[in-house]
Copies of this chain bind each other. A is one copy, B any other.
Amino acid sequence: MDHNSPNVFVYLVDDEFAVRDALALLIKASGWSVKSFDCAQDFLNNYYHEFPGCLILDVKMPVMGGLELQEELIKRNIKIPIIFISGNADIPDSAKAFRAGAVDFLEKPFEKSILLERIDEAVQKDIKARQQLLEKASIQDCFNRLTTREKEVLQLIVNSHSNKEAAKILDVSPRTIDAHRARVMDKMQAENVAALVTMVMSHELLSQTFAPREVQ
């Protein structure tokens, strides 16, 4: 296997040199770029926010443990997928890790092949999440350029109201809705209503106070 996307990093945080050494070797042999650290703080200072990857994290470490680092990452809104590895953790540790979104929690010693599978899974998860974030940010940028009135009109368009209906609801002339609508389509770079709805729906841009459909 060869994962030489040059900008994907597998981070490895463990206070024991022997573990870092052995795992780094294993993971590099699978084609990944590995960055090893012996403490959580070093990882925090050297993590490349801009590139996808995953984190292999020891639970028990001096100063800052793996679970604490996970908390810190959540606080900082860093969503790198985490695979925990541990020598003497317990079930509450594992439960805490999983409930906070861990990909897996492996007890040392573990099957090397499982770790490599989890790395694949975690990296794919991160890449996908980043793509979605990019797309959302791009749409959100457009959305933020809309004026309040334009957002209202967008809401009405997406909620399937015709210009005439929207005009009644906002109590203005249909021509005014025309104007707003045209500006909305322009600013959102949408070619037509279907594209607009798709954009808004897939990223939950608007407060979904409306019911798109009732179940009979």
Contact = CB atoms under 8 A, between A and B. Distances in A.
Interface of A: 86, 89-92, 94-95, 98-99, 104-107, 134-135, 138-139, 157-160, 162, 191-195, 197-199, 201-202, 212-213, 215-216
A134 B214 CA distance: 10
A135 B213 contact: yes
Contacts of A134: 215
Given A91-B94, A94-B105, A201-B201, A138 B216 contact: yes
Contacts of A197: 193-194, 197-198, 201
A162 B91 CA distance: 57
B98 A95 contact: yes
A194 to B, nearest CB: 4
A37 B202 CA distance: 42
Nearest to A216: B138
A202 B198 contact: no
30 contacts: A86-B91, A90-B91, A91-B94, A91-B105, A94-B95, A94-B98, A94-B105, A95-B98, A95-B106, A98-B98, A134-B215, A135-B213, A135-B215, A138-B215, A138-B216, A157-B194, A158-B194, A160-B191, A160-B192, A160-B195, A160-B198, A162-B192, A193-B193, A194-B194, A197-B197, A197-B201, A198-B201, A198-B212, A199-B212, A201-B202
A198 B213 contact: yes
Contacts of A139: 213
Contacts of A215: 134-135, 138
Nearest to A107: B91
Contacts of A192: 160, 162
Nearest to A98: B98
A90 B195 CA distance: 50
A202 B138 CA distance: 20
B94 A194 contact: no
Given A91-B89, A91-B105, A95-B98, A202 B194 contact: no
A215 B133 CA distance: 10
